[in-house]
Amino acid sequence: MKQSPRINMALFIGLAVILIIISGAAAFSAAAAPQYGGTFRTSMGPPRSLDPHMETYPQTSSITNNTNNRLIRWNKDMSGFELDLAESWRRIDNLTYEFKIHKGVRFQDIPPVNGRELTSADIKYSIERASGMYGKRARFKHKYYFEGKLANIGTPDKYTVIFKTKEPYAPFLNYLASDWAAIVSKEVVDEFGDLRRKAIGTGPFMLKEFVRGSHITMLKNPNYFRKGFPYLDKIHIKIMRDPTSIISAFMAKELDTAGAYFFQIPTIKEKAPGAIITKRKSFHMWVLRTQPCTTTYEGLDAPFNNRKVRQALGMAIDKEKLLKLAWGGAGTVQVGTVPNFPPYSLTQADQIEYNPEKAKKLLAEAGYPDGFSTQLLTWSASYMTRPAQVVQEMLKKIGINAELRLLEQAQYFNVIYKYKYPLALHVMTAGYDPDDWIDHYFGPHGHTTTYKWCNPKVWELNEKQRKIIDKDERVKVIQEIQRELMRDGTHTYLYTQDRFSVRWPYVHPNLYWHPNSPIMGEKIWLEKQK
């Protein structure tokens, strides 16, 4: 695996998050009657492709969440599910899930599907495709959601789908509700070979234009199955990268909404006092990580083969100060492996103590009373170099002299995925289930792709939590896993950044706290300006 597609510059401009506060102009009353019509104008970075089963970029799901549906989807605050294509579902037993889909749902009236009715066969095909069953497996980035987990997908009639797992699989519904379990048509895949440039589904909007480097336009689907939706006639997305240009376009009213950095907020308040500013938490977590463990602990290089050295790193970092210096304090100090995902996340009661003197004692006990020299890698973007410089200074205070090695982003990922480096300032991110955070980074070496660690206890506990259907019991095991990883000291979990977005008062948004759902256009509406 090369450059992580999860850590893209566009992610740092207000995507994938939970609503915390609204400031600026007063929010409209929830009782305001929605109005039909209009074009919603926004911006985002360029999508690499439009294939929801092969991609990981939120730019992709900004399109496919509007052109396609899922069986179920997360609700706004990720506290539970909403029905989507499914009109009902039930768990028959700990292995069996039955879904009844709406009758009369039709694919968009575009060749090669030409408005035909959606059936249970489309659900079966889509989940099998997401599992990597059709085409080159390596291209299906979320195949681990379902691959090897399902014993059978039954379609007893046109409107019923029955999933049977091989064993109890607690993350199943969470993954089924993710953006990456979108329902697609076999005919479209067969016609075009893949979905890189085509997005044809059952969703509220139809893809009209995808002009690379310029714009994406989606038109209202007049035959959408959910009556009364969408409100908008059109969504027009400008492809833009530069944060300054984006805010300039917003203040010139060329955009109805835009993402913003925390340091742009004072200017927005001054020059666009009528704008509504939204601050939200994110799923992207800055971490200080040590050398991966690809074989056994004994295979690690000194000094990071000593747990006390790894633990000393955590005690050397003043996380609150780091967040303030690196990101103006606009974020949340983190504790464990699963950030901002209650009830699975750890609380501040489990926080590593900031104690440089104790850190020095741990180094002395490990045989490094005078500290040591090492190297700290990260990539050369300001949101990485600034915190890296602060971490460097904090480590120096306990005797660790960390030389910064700043690489271009692609080069950085090429280096770290060789799994041979001393220290790295990194950004972890995952998706819709705590299993995604744990197994993807710390699972058995045959599973994990983005980091490798060799703690069999973690592997055993993670296998255990997957089979626990009772949520309260599962939470206990997941928190136990996080505490074990913190004792290992493999990562110091630093902070997640707050994301900001701005909109004009006539925009009535549909904000979701999803890792990859920046634009959910189904219920967005625009108040006609007088």
Element (H, E) at 441: helix 434-442
CA 57 – CA 47 distance, rounded (Å): 7
What residues make up the domain containing 441?
A: 287-327+336-491
Give domain status of residue 280, yes or no. no
Give the domain CATH number at 467: 3.10.105.10
Give domain status of residue 351, yes or no. yes
Residues 475 and 520 in one domain: no
Residue in the block written with tokens 């016609």: 191
At 193-207, the pLDDT tens digits run 999 999 999 999 999
DSSP string, 107-156: --S-TTTTTPBP-HHHHHHHHHHHTT-SS-GGG-TTGGGTTTTEEEEEEE
Give the domain CATH number at 136: 3.40.190.10
Per-residue pLDDT, 498: 93
Give domain status of residue 106, yes or no. yes
Residue in the block written with tokens 């770290």: 416
Q: Is the pTM of this model over 0.85?
A: yes
Give domain status of residue 375, yes or no. yes
At 130-178, the pLDDT tens digits run 999 999 998 999 999 999 999 999 999 999 999 999 999 999 999 999 9
CB of 508 closer than 8 Å to CB of 231:
no
Residues 165 and 25 in one domain: yes
Per-residue pLDDT, 18: 33
Per-residue pLDDT, 507: 97
Per-residue pLDDT, 187: 97
Per-residue pLDDT, 2: 39
Residues 451 and 519 in one domain: no
Per-residue pLDDT, 29: 42
Q: How many domains does the chain have?
A: 2
Give domain status of residue 4, yes or no. no
Residues 56 and 188 in one domain: yes
Residues 256 and 371 in one domain: no
CA 180 – CA 51 distance, rounded (Å): 9
Residues 94 and 200 in one domain: yes
- Low-confidence residues in the chain, pLDDT < 70: 1-31, 530
Per-residue pLDDT, 315: 98
Residues 295 and 250 in one domain: no
Per-residue pLDDT, 21: 35
Per-residue pLDDT, 145: 94
Per-residue pLDDT, 530: 64
